[in-house]
């Protein structure tokens, strides 16, 4: 794939923005999955589609989601994707999977990246249990066969109980997870920059990262104000790029503000997720050409 980041898509050839598919400016904060109000604001409508904050786009719709309604209740999380011809049952491969499911609470905590299974009738399902009450956004990232390309759709789902919001952690250049330390070099900016993640364990560089979904790491970024969405591969390729300790991404934020970054990497047969908060700074790029907004070329 082109390793310049793209929002709301895994592959593609345009530079990606954190929270928007490609070159668009300030993003709307639609948390409902519905179209923004005010039919005259067409650019805002396209922005909401591009960031994965809608339940429908390009003729495709994420159905209502069924799941356990309280924490610690075991059950199934299920949904369907419908398109112009009805329920979608055929998908293009997106980095070794037909669909990627990203789930996160609206305070940017409780992050999960998982891969449900699809029944013959097109129903996606995965065993599920919520760890905490709250409002969650569920992103489905997929590419339907004979469709317009990669699409990200989402809905929110409420989990009953008394909610204790988790404050957004302060910006930091290090994250500790499962005995690993990941160090971030570079600054997230609206002008575009490189972000390098260096993985160590017990003070020693990790040089045997294992491929996970076809890459040595994956980066998901969510803008703190509205959970605008990004999921991409790093630069380089498995087999030619060194498997650690450095993993490099090129990123361009759509606006100033706080972002939560989630880096998935695999070593020793286990996947680990390092989390960072970054504050994007720099000139706003709201004048970017409108044709960059769609996310598919």
In this structure, the answer to whether residues 187 and 260 fall within a common structural domain is yes
**Percent of the chain residues topping a pLDDT of 90:** 69
* pLDDT at residue 70 in the model: 97
Q: What is the pLDDT of residues 129-139, one digit of tens each?
A: 999 999 999 99
Within-domain flag for 249: yes
Residue 144 tokens read as 């339907």
Q: How far apart are CA 108 and CA 96, in angstroms?
A: 26
Q: What pLDDT does 44 receive?
A: 34
Share of the chain above pLDDT 70, in %: 78
Q: Are residues 155 and 185 in the same domain?
A: no
Domain residue limits at 100: 42-159
CATH number of the domain enclosing 180: 2.60.40.1220
Instruction: Confirm whether 80 is domain-assigned.
Output: yes
In this prediction, residue 21 has a pLDDT band, given cuts at 50, 70 and 90, of very low
List pLDDT tens digits, range 49-58.
447 899 999 9
Residue 90 sits in the same domain as residue 143:
yes
Residue 191's pLDDT band, with cuts at 50, 70 and 90, is confident
CB 216 within 8 A of CB 234: yes
pLDDT at 107 over 50: yes
> Domain check: are 108 and 136 in the same one?
yes
Mean per-residue pLDDT for 9-33?
32
pLDDT at 16: 38
**Is there a single domain that holds both residue 195 and residue 253?**
yes
Average pLDDT over residues 256-260: 92
Same domain, 142 and 206: no
The pTM score is 0.80
In a domain, 59, yes or no: yes
Same-domain pairing of 68 and 135: yes
134/224 same-domain check? no
Q: Is residue 128 part of a domain?
A: yes
Q: Are residues 110 and 188 in the same domain?
A: no
Model confidence band, residue 13 (pLDDT cutoffs 50, 70, 90): very low
123 and 52 part of one domain: yes
Do 128 and 204 lie in one domain? The reply is no
Number of domains in the chain: 2
Residue 286 has pLDDT above 50, yes or no: no
Q: Is the peptide bond before 278 cis (omega within 30 degrees of 0)?
A: no
């Amino acid at each position: 794939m082109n390793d310049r980041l793209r929002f709301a898509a895994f592959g593609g050839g345009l530079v990606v923005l954190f929270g928007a598919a490609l070159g668009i400016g300030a993003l709307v904060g639609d948390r409902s999955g519905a179209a923004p109000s005010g039919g005259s604001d067409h650019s805002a409508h396209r922005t909401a589609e591009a960031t994965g904050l809608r339940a429908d786009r390009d003729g495709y719709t994420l159905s209502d989601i069924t799941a356990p309604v309280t924490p610690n209740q075991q059950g199934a999380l299920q949904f369907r994707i419908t398109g112009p011809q009805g329920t979608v049952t055929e998908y293009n491969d997106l980095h070794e999977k037909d669909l990627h499911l990203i789930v996160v609470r609206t305070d940017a905590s409780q992050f999960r990246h998982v891969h449900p299974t699809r029944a013959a009738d097109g129903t996606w399902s995965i065993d599920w249990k919520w760890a905490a009450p709250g409002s969650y956004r569920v992103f489905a990232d997929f590419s339907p066969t004979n469709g317009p390309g990669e699409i990200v759709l989402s809905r929110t789902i409420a989990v009953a109980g008394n909610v204790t919001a988790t404050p957004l952690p302060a910006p930091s250049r290090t994250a500790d997870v499962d005995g690993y330390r990941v160090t971030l070099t570079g600054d997230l900016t609206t002008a575009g920059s490189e972000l390098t993640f260096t993985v160590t364990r017990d003070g020693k560089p990790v040089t045997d990262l294992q491929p996970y979904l076809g890459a040595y790491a994956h980066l998901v970024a969510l803008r703190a104000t509205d959970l605008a969405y990004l999921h991409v591969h790093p630069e380089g390729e498995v087999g030619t790029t060194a498997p650690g300790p450095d993993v490099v991404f090129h990123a361009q934020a759509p606006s100033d503000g706080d972002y939560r970054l989630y880096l998935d990497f695999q070593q020793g047969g286990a996947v680990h997720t390092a989390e960072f908060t970054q504050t994007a700074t720099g000139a706003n790029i709201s004048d970017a050409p409108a044709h960059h907004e769609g996310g598919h070329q």
